[in-house]
Every structure is written in structure tokens, then in C-alpha cells.
Structure 1
Amino acid sequence: MKVRLTIYLTMCILALLTVSCGADHYMKKGEKFLAIGEYYDAAAEFKTAYNKTPTKERAKRGQRARKLAYCYDRINSTAKAIAAYRNVIRYKQDSIDTHLSLARMLMKAGSYKEAAKEYQLVLDTLPDNQQAMTGLLSAQTAQEEKDAGSRYIVKKVDIFNSRRADYSPMLFGDEYDQLYFTSTRNEAEGDELSGITGTKAGDIFYSQKDETGKWQRPETIESGLNSEYDEGACCFSPDQRMMYLTQCTTDPNYPRYATIVTSNRSDAAWSKPTPLEISSDTLSSYAHPAVSPDGLWLYFTSDMPGGKGGYDIWRIRLTSAGLGGAENLGEPINTEGDEMFPTFRPNGDLYFSSNGHKGLGGLDIYIATVDPKTHKFKIEHPGYPLNSQADDFGMTFEGPHNRGFFSSNRGDARGWDHIYSFEKPEIIQTVKGWVYEMEGYELPDALVYMVGSDGTNLKLNVKGDGSFTQVIQPGVDYIMLATCKGFLNHKEELRVEPVQESKEYVLQFPLASIRVPVLIDNIFYDFDKYTLRPESVTALDELVKLLNENPNVTIELSAHCDYKGSSEYNKTLSQKRAEAVVNYLIEHGIARDRLSPVGYGKEKPKTIRKKLTEKYPWLKEGDVLTEDFIKKLDPEKQEICNQLNRRTEFIVLRITYGMYDEKGNLKNPPKAQEQTNEDINEEELYFEFE
């Protein structure tokens, strides 16, 4: 019996040693994965190690449960994280951080009463703990706030979503008809599964609206933008020519740090990303880029030194010479928790997500607006259902309207994110302007200076199609001055009246070139006479307005005829017609010495510009409508060319009229509305309201 008992005890000890050694092996593997941020793979190893650890080794089980809980926490496995944190407490290996983390997970699960108990337990030990104080207040009020709700309407958008994670949507295009977002769906690049999430590495996908306005099934981007690594959380520069996105490369020997990269758009394709060096610090993460509406600042998320705690929101100046220095947004935006996923509404409001402010659980969306009196940020929580007990983040807006898309992992037991639409019904008035060259195309390099009688003073960049959209307020008078290098300015005024429903005003800003002749359309004379017909008044008054808006400009006003008739007759008639226009301008307040009337007769036939070839495809850019050229055409086309030759136009001679005194010294700087395009600079402009 003694021999058998000895053998049995020896076998039991060997078995225990084998189990213990096996658990240690899995712990070591888990630690390696954890060191490089591969939480999913680390959790699998820690779970095996925990299960192989004998129940009698309570301290080890508690310590291993803590590792497991941390990994579950990072991969949004809320229910598993809660169970693991409770095991840490059960085996008495807990700390203040354990109870804070458990409370956060209970908030994400909507277990507000249990979360409150955990926060209170922390406060009983550390009554000044800010995270616990904020968390307890959240737990005590969350259900009431959810019950109160808000005017937001939220819907899950199935067309965008897959069986994996889909998040950080971003609208693109002048008509907001493309949606870019991040997804770990099966169509993503690469074959390996991520050690962080257990899914494929994230890629940027996009969806397009069809001609009926219906969103199409998402597609991959084949231009080299995506790689086998993680790409995600993108945004665009105001001119939509550059994409900023987050990339996280893989190195089996080093931790995974997120970086921000850029991609340029050319011929409707995105280039391979290039790194954006925000700092020489290579041991911090830089993620979730957002460009301010004026294009002057890049906002991002980082855990770099100098923050408030966890991840903070920072910003860095974007200049033509490169990046400026990074600065932390500080309080009240950043907290001891995590602030992430900054984005902007076009009106300048900053939206971000945080788990450090009072909320409903997980990451909640907050709105930061600047108080006009104190010039400091004030924070607003938009409530339920935009926010939920889960993670809510990654907003994008459809122009000035309070509608668009965001991402959330609400209702997904695996913690995967999905894309939702949102809308908050409201009355919005906007102005949409189009800046383009007279007889030409849009001017994407133009700027629009906008001032209002309420103190508004803005400098607006136009989009690639020459358009801009801006929210305006009822009861306010606005003046908008469009400028572009090489062109005369154009000014429009707008009075905004109160309305009962949303309204958009549309304004045109045709800019006259200072380098090529500009056609004055719709100028009419009686046949074979130089008398201006009454229907010419509209066009002539627009010319008066243009010259008043650009008082430092002198022009040559020219009239032209077709090839019919003698040269002497045509030249005389065209000279008198040019003088008739000049006389009208003088009668309406334009100084005579700013105007030079010239009749060219048929000496300067029209040269065709590209824009005109769209209307007349049988003409080519650069064609000169000489008599020989015209006579080779059929009769109908001959008459069209003759009409094009019979024209009145002007060309800018000087842009410094009245700016210098007799000694050649610059006079007092002109008022903003009197400046020529060449005098506009980066300073703020002010207009006088009559």
C-alpha cells in the first residue's frame, strides 16, 4: 500500500508540475504578444494559461486574470472583460485600477447601478479621484439621460456594414456622394489575421451614390492606398486633394505604434501613402487626423508626453513651409481618460469622442464650441441616441447640415463597430457660391472673404469645382468678395430673412481675367448703327458694378465687327460703338481717364477659347475666326462665327490707377472693398455697411 501511495503522490506532483510549466509557457507567449500590442493573440494565450493554472494557486490565477482582463478590455470584449476583472477581485489581486476598469466595462454593458458601486468603492479609498467622481456621476444620471433622449434620429446603414468591423466614415466629393470608411471585412488586403483584433488588417473602402442618390455596395481602392498593414480613420483637406489617414505597420520585434500618413489625389486615384513626421518621438502613437475647415490646422490623437493622461487631442499648424509645433488642446477637452477621433462640422464646431467626460458609457461623442465672450471651449454632450452605452465615434457631416454618419459598436456582442446614419432636424440657411472665370472654368484657387453685420469675418477656400457653402444667420447682412490671383474681384451682397424651413441661397462670382480680353455679353446695337439698345442696360450696369468694385483698374473697351463690309466702314462703326459704351459708363460715374474706347472693325477676329468648344464642338481651342477660316465652313456655321466676331469686350490695362500721388508715392491704403485682387493678403478684411 505504501508503495502504491508513493507512486500515486509522485504522479500527482508531476501532473501539477506539468500543468504549471504549461501555464508558464503560455504566459510567456502571451507576454510577447502583449509587448507588441497584439491583444487578441495575447488574450488567447493568457486564457489558456489561466485555465491551466491550478485553482489552489489563487494569486497566480488572479494575476493572470488581470492580464486577460486588460486584453479583453482593449479588444472591446466587454462581457469577457467584466468576468476577468471580477476574477481578479475574487482572487484578491485587485487594485484601484481594477475597480476603475471594471466600472468602465459595466458602464459599457449598461449596468449602471453596479458601475456606481465600483466607483463608490474607489472613492471610499481615494475621495479625490477625478475619474471615479466623473464616473459615479455618469452612472447615477446615465439612465435618466437615455430616457430623456434627444432630437437625433439614428439608423444602422446595412449597405455599408459587413460581418466584421466598419468604422470612421468620411464623406467626400462636392456633392457628398462618396463615403470612405475603414473595414476589416474579408475583401481587405493581405491574408493574415491581425494579432490585435483577430480579423484582417483594416483597409479604406468607399461607397458611391448612383444617379438616383442610392448608396452602392462598398468597393476596395486599388491605387496602392491600402497595404497589408492597418489603414484607417481618414480625412481630407478642404480642397479634397489630399487624404490624411492612420497607418499601423507590423514588426514582430517592436510595439505597434500608429502613425499618420498622407495620400495625394491625381486623376481620380489616391497615391501610395507617405509618412507625415509630426514629431521625432517614435515611441508615441499618432492617429485619427482631422483638418480644420480653414485648412490651417491638423488635429490628431496621441499619447505623446505632455498630455493630460491616456490619449489626448493635439493640433499642429499646416503651412506652406511644412508643419509647425504640436500643441495640446488642454482642458476642458482633454481629461485623464482618452480623447480620440476629432472631426469638424463645416461651421467650425469640433466633435470628438471621450471616456473621460460625464457620459453614457464607453466612448461618447462630445461637441466643443468656442464661447464668443471668453474665447474658450465649452463642451456639450448631445445625448441619446447619438450616444449610447457603447463606443460612439467618428462623425462626418453632409455639408452644413446636422446629418451624416458615425460609427458605434452598440448591440454587437463581439465589440465590432458598424456605421450608422444620424440626423438632427433643424432649420439651416446657407449660401452656396460659385467662383469661375468669365468665359472660362471654375477657379479652385480662389478665396472668398465674407463679412456680416453681426461681426462675421471669414476667409473661405473654394472646392475643386469652384464652389463654397457657408451657414448664414437670419437678420444679418453679408458682403462676399471673391478674389483670385490674375483676376479682378467680384462682390455680392446678401440680406438673410427669417424662414420657416431650411433654405439655400445661390450666388455667382464670375471673375474677369486681367490677362486676356473679356467678352461683355448681351450688348446690342441697332442694325448698322452705334445706338445702344435698351436690352443692353443689364450687361452695362454689371460692367459699372465691376469697375466700381475694382477702382484701381483701367480698361480698353473695344468693339469688333465681322468681315462683311469695307475695313474703313467697319472700323468707324466699331469705334463709335465702343465710344457709346464708354459714354454710358461715364454717365454712370466711371472716370473718363479709366476708359479707352477702341474700334477694331474686323482687324482682330475672335480667338476660340476652350470653354467655347463645349458649345461648338466643331471649333477647336486656338482657332482664329478669320475670313478665310469662316468661308471654309457651311453657311450655318459661317453665321455662328460671324456672330462671335461681332462682339464688345474689354481688357485690363492697369491695376494701379489712383494708387500713387504725383511724386510716385503710395497713397493711403484703400478700404477693403476698394482693393484690387493684387492687394489682398492674409489680413482680415472689413467692409462698411450702408
Structure 2
Amino acid sequence: MRKVIYILYIVCFTLLLMGCGVDQAVKKGDKFWAVGEYYDAAEQYKKAYSQTPSKERTTRGQRAKKLAECYRRLNQTNKAISAYNNVIRYKQADSLTHLYLGQLYMRNGNYKEAAKQFAVAIDSLEVRDESEEVRGLLQLAKTGLESSQKAPQWKKEGSAYTIKKMDLFNSRRDDYSPMLSGDSDDQLYFTSTRNQAQGDELSGITGAKNADIFYVQKDEKGKWGKPQVIASELNSVYDEGACCFSPDGKTMYLTQCATDPDYPRYAKIMVSTRNDASWSKPKELVIARDTLSSFAHPAVSPDGEWLYFVSDMAGGMGGLDIWRCRLESSTEVSYAENVGAPINTPGDEMFPTFRPNGDLYFSSNGHPGLGGLDIYYISHPTPEPSPIKGGENVEVAHPGWPLNSQGDDFGMTFEGKLNQGFFCSNRGDLRGFDHIYSFYNPEVIQTVKGWVYEQDGYELTAAQVYMVGNDGTNIKLSVRSDGSFTQEIKPNVDYVILGTCKGFLNHQEQIRVEPTKKSEEYVLQFPLANISAPVLIENIFYDFNKATLRPESKQALDELVQLLNENPNITIELSAHTDCRGSEAYNEQLSQRRAESVVAYLIAHGIAADRLTPKGYGESNPKRIKKRVAEKYEFLKEGDVLTEEMISALPEELQEQYHQMNRRTEFKVLRTTYGLFDKAGKLVQSPAAAPQPKD
């Protein structure tokens, strides 16, 4: 008898301890859930669920629901489906249970089962109150049902996209949000929770390390290297990721989520600037004085004037929405506005990004799609220069399979003007980890690429390029750090493109874009003449010891005529120079006659004579070497003057080459106000100006 009583005592005591353990697990799980640590919360809810007796059906169902919610947020689809089915099994399901289960079956590609769950959710929601929240959930359920019915056909139809998993970039953890940078798109930044990320602790949110930003460099042969750690204060022990860049590449906007064990995590947007070769420690970009909302996934419009981002702040349409604000400077913004419908929905809209042509790409689970987050885009209303916002004339397009899948697809970045680049997806990964993929769509894209540089000098990074087309295009472009620009153009359009820079003469090019069946790039050069220094006119040739212009000089002279027509308010001195051989008097006379020959050609081609002053310098002004010229010759350095003494000291086989450099034709600007004033000094016409883009 005593033995039986003892056994019963042990059993009761054990059950009591188990009950206490279960309650403790639930309390811990709730605490983790409150601060967004879903991985740690799931561990506790799993323990509580497994130790809850099957006969306690209500309690077991409630704990299954908490576990399901964690798995859903962790992208552990199969575990979440199993947990939600247990919620239904124990009769604790509601309309949200069936809505979420339908979305999870979509992520698994089980469209038939998804349709059943969405139908149940619709029936349940239609009999509830007409609150805004219920209307939003009902819309999501109806969109889900439409998606589940149409997705098999969409996958069958496919698209022109081809994709490839980038094993070189990927790890065994999350790798996502790729973003190209550099003048030639030769750098790729992305977010990763791989082992090389800073810090030693694992995140209670994901169970992995906190994310850092990594980068990859392309070599001179166009081959990508291996991912590298960024050696600066850009990353911290917190979560960093989802970055973007200003058009000049000097400012990075990124998402950061700091850790607080007792407070929910709210993401914020940070700013880092590039100093020499490193990125500075990020500082917060204050968008609103709202400490209870998240601000994440920044994207800068191609014109550099608008910052798009994602937030759950008040005034949205449900879930996460895309917002925008004007960039007053790199560290200050104006008030935020919601981009509205049809872009935003009652679901989540995330990861906005821009294609260089102005198209806005984003990911959403609130539009009809294949499952999870799908990629969508809004075509930029060219030639309208303003950034995209929602409205009646905005249409949301779906790129189809295989760019989109039943999993999460997001984080586009584009390589040049072509429809190619990188994105990320967790398709096919049972753990729910994201990986980077390349994409390519062989659409026909026509572009113009140009370089603006000082004539006989280097690139002009402060230059502005104006483009006007007879289709209404009227835009202003900035150049990259190598003086280049790239712009998409349309067939059957005539364009005038003007390169300008303060202190330099304008240069204009014209192109007629013909239709083509394959992508094509027009390449143009914009050499700008310095107003304050002599400018060499290359390829001017005279008969030996004569002033007669040779026929091969015609192209260079016609280009000079064009330059003077494009800059009608300047007058120039046209100078000719000889080498030091022969008498000074003869060389001066010969050079004067040669300068007059060039002036005569210009007058014969419509240039007013009073804009031209011929001057022969003979051998009196030997050439002074500029840095760019010095780089081409072993025996020269910047600032050298090709005097007779210097040339005679060179090896004999090199002397003729340097005599040829002294035999040259140049021009320099004398005035920039020709024709602007009358004899009384009154302004009679406005100076010729670059075409300005429309407001």
C-alpha cells in the first residue's frame, strides 16, 4: 500500500513540474514574441505544445496557433502548414488561420489546397462586420483565390526571362538585397547572415547571425570575385542590410535594426558617405518623429531627388506600404507621403528599387501572383520626368515565371540600361533562406552612351548633359565619375544632345534612332573646349612649306565650324605655329598665312569674319605639355615646354616627333559676349543657353 501511494505521489509531482515547465515556456515565448524574436519564441512554444496533453484540445490548439505564427514569419513553410493544420484539428481556427494557410500552400505551389483555404476564409470574412480591417482581409483572400486559380496557367505560359543561381555569391545562410554600384556596375553589395558577419551571438529573430553588408568586385576581364567583408564602420553587431546608392555613388542609404532585449525592434534608415575608398559610420536619416514605426528598404529615384522606402506607420493601406519623400540633401528629407493605390494594397509592399530608365520595381503579397512575395513593376511614363506615384493612370505589371516563383522573390538591381542584373529568392530552400540569382530578359533596348571631357584633357565630372527629342523628351543628365552618361532612347525619334560645363564651350551631337531587332548602343564623344586656355585643333594639314590646306583637313575644320555655330556668342583667335627649323621671319610669315587659310575656310562656311582673328606665331610659342599628353610619351612630363634646346637634347630618332607637336593649329576664346550688346552697351539678345528640362 505504501508503495502504491509513493508511486502516485511521484506521478503527481512529475505532472506538477511539467505543468510549471509548460507555463514557463509559454511566458518565455510570449516575451520573445513581444520583441519580435520569433526564432526564440518558436522554441518555447514548441516545448509548450509538445508537453500539453492531447486531451487538452483547446489549449493545445491555441499553442499550435502561436507556434504556427512564428514559423510563418520565419518562412519555415512546411512547419507552419503543419502547425496551422493542428489549429484546425483542435477547432481553434478563425478566418485568419485559413487566409494564412492559403498563403502558405501558395508558397508550396499547392494551388488546389490553397484555393480551398481561401474559399473558407472568404466565407468567414463575408459574414463579419464591415470594418476597414475586415475589408482589407477579405480583399487579400479574394486576391489569393484568384492567384491560386490562375497561377498554374501563368507558370505554364512562362516569360522571356532566364535566371541562374549565383553560387559564387551565396552561402548556407541568407543572402539577399543585391545592389550594383560603380561607374561600370562593377561592384555588387548585398546583405548576408553568413558566418563572416560581425558579432558572435545568434539573433533571436532568425536563429542566425545578425546581417551585415558585403560586396563583390568585378575584375578587368569582367569576372566577379568572391564576396568580401567591408573593412569600415559601415557594419556593426546589429542588423544592417537592404542598401541603395545616390546616383553619384557617394552616398549609401541602408536599413539598420538595433537590438533591445526588452523592446520591440523598429527598423530605421541610415546614411553612410564614401570617404576615399571606405564608407563612414552610418547616421540615422530622420523621416518622421515616430518611434513606434519601422522605416526600411530605401531606394533613390534615378534623378536623385526622391527617397522611396517601406513603413508600417499610420496612414497606410494595410501591412507594409511604400512611401516616398523628397531628398532636401543627402541627410535631410521633406514630409513623407504614401504612394497610394494601385501600388499599395492591404498586404505587404516591400523592397522598392528603380531601373535606370525610371521603372519602379517592388515586391508584394497583396497583388495576384504565384505565391509569397512576387516582383511587380510600374513603367515610367517617359518622357514625363517626375517620379512614379500611384494614381488612375498607373498600371501594375507582373513579369511572370521564372522571375517570380511560389517563394519570395524580391530585391532587383539592374546592370546598365538592359533588363538584366540580380535579384533574390528563397524558392526551393526548405529552410526559407534567401539566395541571389541573376536574371536576363532579351528585350530590345536602345541606348546612347557618351563621355564628356576637356578637349585634349580629362573627364569633366561637373558636366551636365541636356537631351531634347522630337517626341517631347526634355531631360537633364549628370555624368558619372568617369565623365560618362547612359540614357535609354526610342526608335523613330530625333535627339539633340548638348554637353555643357562651366568654363568650357558647349558641344552638341544629333542622332536619329532607327528601329532595330536587337539591342543597340550609340556611342558619342563630347570634347569641350576650355575657355581660358588654347585648344589644339587636331588633324589640320598643309602642303609642305605652304599655307594651302590639304583635303584631309576638311573634317576637323567642319567640326570647328560646328563648334562656332553651337557657341554663337564667342570670338576666337585662330593661331598657327611652326617648329624651330628655318628663320624666325620665314616661320612667322608661313604661320600667319596658314592661320589666314583656316580663317578663310571658316568665313566661306558661314562664320562671321569679325568673330575670327588669325595670328601666326611662328616658332615663338613652343608647345607646353599637358598631363594627358605627358602620359603618352616616355620622355615628357607635365609642364615641359618643347623648346629648341629641349628637343636637341633628345635622341635623334625622337626629335622629328616633337617637332611635329610644335607644328600645330590652335584657337583660344577672346570674348563670350559677341552679338549680345548694341553700340550703346544695351543687351539686344539673350546669350545662347542649354535647353532646360520641363518642370
Please give the TM-score of this superposition, normalised by the length of structure 2. 0.92
- 1:499-648 matches, cutoff 5 A: 499-648=516-665
Deviation at 1:355, TM superposition (A): 0.4
CA–CA distance in structure 2, aligned partners of residues 513 and 378 of structure 1: 47
User: Alpha-carbon deviations, 1:137-167, whole Å to 9, x = none?
Assistant: 1112112211222222122222222111111
Q: Counterpart in 2 of 1:113?
A: 112
- In the alignment, residue 415 of structure 1 is paired with which amino acid? G
The 1:491/1:682 distance shift into structure 2, 3 A limit, reads closer
- 1:45-60 matches, cutoff 5 A: 45-60=44-59
CA–CA distance in structure 1, aligned partners of residues 392 and 673 of structure 2: 40
- 1:334-483 matches, cutoff 5 A: 334-370=344-380, 376-483=393-500
Deviation at 1:639, TM superposition (A): 3.3
Question: What percent identity do the matched residue pairs reach?
Answer: 65
- In the alignment, residue 356 of structure 1 is paired with which amino acid? G
Aligned 8 A contact 1:370 1:377 in 2: no
Aligned 8 A contact 2:578 2:587 in 1: yes
Three-state SS of the structure 2 residue aligned to 1:325 is coil
CA–CA distance in structure 2, aligned partners of residues 371 and 503 of structure 1: 22
Q: Counterpart in 2 of 1:201?
A: 210
Deviation at 1:266, TM superposition (A): 4.0
Q: Are 2:502 and 1:485 aligned?
A: yes
Three-state SS of the structure 1 residue aligned to 2:61 is helix
The 1:55/1:422 distance shift into structure 2, 3 A limit, reads same
Q: Are 2:220 and 1:250 aligned?
A: no
The 1:517/1:384 distance shift into structure 2, 3 A limit, reads same
Aligned 8 A contact 2:68 2:83 in 1: yes
- In the alignment, residue 592 of structure 1 is paired with which amino acid? A
User: Which deviates the most, 405-414 or 581-590?
Assistant: 581-590
1:217 to 226, 233, 257: 226
Three-state SS of the structure 1 residue aligned to 2:395 is strand
CA–CA distance in structure 1, aligned partners of residues 291 and 595 of structure 2: 69
CA–CA distance in structure 2, aligned partners of residues 565 and 583 of structure 1: 26
Please give the TM-score of this superposition, normalised by the length of structure 1. 0.92
User: Alpha-carbon deviations, 1:104-159, whole Å to 9, x = none?
Assistant: 11211122222222222222132352111111111121122112222221222222
CA–CA distance in structure 2, aligned partners of residues 644 and 278 of structure 1: 59
User: Which deviates the most, 410-419 or 245-254?
Assistant: 245-254
CA–CA distance in structure 2, aligned partners of residues 329 and 664 of structure 1: 53
Aligned 8 A contact 2:475 2:693 in 1: no
- In the alignment, residue 324 of structure 2 is paired with which amino acid? R
CA–CA distance in structure 1, aligned partners of residues 453 and 7 of structure 2: 93
User: Which deviates the most, 568-577 or 297-306?
Assistant: 568-577
Deviation at 1:566, TM superposition (A): 4.0
Aligned 8 A contact 2:426 2:433 in 1: yes
Deviation at 1:563, TM superposition (A): 3.2
User: Alpha-carbon deviations, 1:645-679, whole Å to 9, x = none?
Assistant: 22211122222322334554444546xxx42xxxx
User: Which deviates the most, 506-515 or 623-632?
Assistant: 623-632
- In the alignment, residue 280 of structure 1 is paired with which amino acid? R
Deviation at 1:360, TM superposition (A): 1.0
Q: Counterpart in 2 of 1:73?
A: 72
CA–CA distance in structure 1, aligned partners of residues 256 and 306 of structure 2: 20
For structure 2, the residue ranges without an aligned partner over 5 or more in a row are 127-134, 385-390
Q: Counterpart in 2 of 1:277?
A: 286
User: Which deviates the most, 478-487 or 345-354?
Assistant: 478-487
User: Alpha-carbon deviations, 1:270-313, whole Å to 9, x = none?
Assistant: 33333322233232222212222222222111112221111111
The 1:558/1:408 distance shift into structure 2, 3 A limit, reads same
Three-state SS of the structure 2 residue aligned to 1:435 is strand
User: Alpha-carbon deviations, 1:418-448, whole Å to 9, x = none?
Assistant: 1112222222222221221111112222222
Aligned 8 A contact 2:475 2:692 in 1: no
CA–CA distance in structure 2, aligned partners of residues 293 and 51 of structure 1: 53
CA–CA distance in structure 1, aligned partners of residues 215 and 602 of structure 2: 54
CA–CA distance in structure 2, aligned partners of residues 39 and 541 of structure 1: 72
Q: Are 2:323 and 1:306 aligned?
A: no
Three-state SS of the structure 2 residue aligned to 1:379 is coil
Three-state SS of the structure 1 residue aligned to 2:18 is helix
Three-state SS of the structure 2 residue aligned to 1:477 is strand
Q: Counterpart in 2 of 1:235?
A: 244
The 1:33/1:664 distance shift into structure 2, 3 A limit, reads farther
1:323 to 315, 326, 333: 333
User: Which deviates the most, 203-212 or 437-446?
Assistant: 203-212
CA–CA distance in structure 2, aligned partners of residues 161 and 417 of structure 1: 9
User: Alpha-carbon deviations, 1:466-522, whole Å to 9, x = none?
Assistant: 222222222222211111222211111111222232222211111111122111111
Q: Counterpart in 1 of 2:63?
A: 64
CA–CA distance in structure 1, aligned partners of residues 436 and 4 of structure 2: 64
CA RMSD of aligned residues (A): 2.4
CA–CA distance in structure 1, aligned partners of residues 680 and 323 of structure 2: 52
CA–CA distance in structure 1, aligned partners of residues 32 and 503 of structure 2: 59
Deviation at 1:55, TM superposition (A): 3.3
Aligned 8 A contact 2:589 2:616 in 1: yes
The 1:477/1:683 distance shift into structure 2, 3 A limit, reads closer
Aligned 8 A contact 1:370 1:376 in 2: no
The 1:666/1:98 distance shift into structure 2, 3 A limit, reads farther
User: Which deviates the most, 357-366 or 369-378?
Assistant: 369-378
Q: How many pairs were matched up?
A: 677
CA–CA distance in structure 1, aligned partners of residues 660 and 192 of structure 2: 58
Q: Are 2:122 and 1:123 aligned?
A: yes
CA–CA distance in structure 2, aligned partners of residues 286 and 410 of structure 1: 26
Q: Counterpart in 1 of 2:101?
A: 102
Aligned 8 A contact 2:461 2:483 in 1: yes
Three-state SS of the structure 2 residue aligned to 1:604 is coil
The 1:664/1:96 distance shift into structure 2, 3 A limit, reads farther
User: Which deviates the most, 581-590 or 243-252?
Assistant: 243-252
- In the alignment, residue 368 of structure 1 is paired with which amino acid? I
- In the alignment, residue 179 of structure 1 is paired with which amino acid? L
Three-state SS of the structure 1 residue aligned to 2:103 is helix
CA–CA distance in structure 2, aligned partners of residues 173 and 61 of structure 1: 55
User: Which deviates the most, 3-12 or 88-97?
Assistant: 3-12
User: Which deviates the most, 211-220 or 339-348?
Assistant: 211-220
- 1:10-21 matches, cutoff 5 A: 11-21=10-20
CA–CA distance in structure 2, aligned partners of residues 320 and 520 of structure 1: 41
Q: Counterpart in 2 of 1:688?
A: none
Deviation at 1:383, TM superposition (A): 1.1
- In the alignment, residue 63 of structure 1 is paired with which amino acid? Q
Three-state SS of the structure 1 residue aligned to 2:573 is strand
Deviation at 1:212, TM superposition (A): 4.3
CA–CA distance in structure 2, aligned partners of residues 269 and 178 of structure 1: 14
- In the alignment, residue 644 of structure 1 is paired with which amino acid? M
Deviation at 1:320, TM superposition (A): 4.3
CA–CA distance in structure 2, aligned partners of residues 361 and 241 of structure 1: 37
CA–CA distance in structure 2, aligned partners of residues 223 and 54 of structure 1: 53
Deviation at 1:412, TM superposition (A): 0.5
Aligned 8 A contact 1:20 1:54 in 2: no
The 1:66/1:662 distance shift into structure 2, 3 A limit, reads farther
CA–CA distance in structure 2, aligned partners of residues 667 and 52 of structure 1: 93
Aligned 8 A contact 1:371 1:378 in 2: no
Aligned 8 A contact 1:370 1:378 in 2: no
